[in-house]
Amino acid sequence: MEINNMNKESEKLYKILFICLGNICRSPAANAVMQKMVDDAGLSARFLIDSAGIGNWHVGELPDKRMRNHGFKRGYQVNHIARQFDARTDFEAFDYIIVMDEDNYKNINRMSQSDKEKKQVIRMIDYITEHPEATSVPDPYYGEGKDFDYALDLIEDGCRGLLQRLCESESTPNSL
SS3 153: helix
Q: Which amino acid is at 125?
A: I
Mean pLDDT throughout 137-163?
Answer: 98
Q: What's the CA angle centered on 128, arms 59 and 165, to 5 degrees?
A: 95
CA–CA distance, 24 with 141 (Å, rounded to integer): 9
Residues serving a catalytic function are 20, 26, 139
- Is residue 139 predicted with pLDDT exceeding 90? yes
Q: CA torsion sign, 53 to 55 to 58 to 63?
A: negative
Q: Is residue 166 classed exposed, middle or buried when 0-12, 13-18 and 19+ CB atoms within 10 A define those classes?
A: buried
**pLDDT grade for 49, boundaries at 50, 70 and 90:** very high
- Report the pLDDT value the prediction gives residue 133, as an integer from 0 to 100: 96
Q: Decide if domain 14-171 falls under CATH 3.40.50.1980.
A: no
pTM of the model: 0.93
- Cα 14 from chain centroid? 12
For the chain, domain boundaries: 14-171
- Is residue 7 predicted with pLDDT exceeding 50? yes
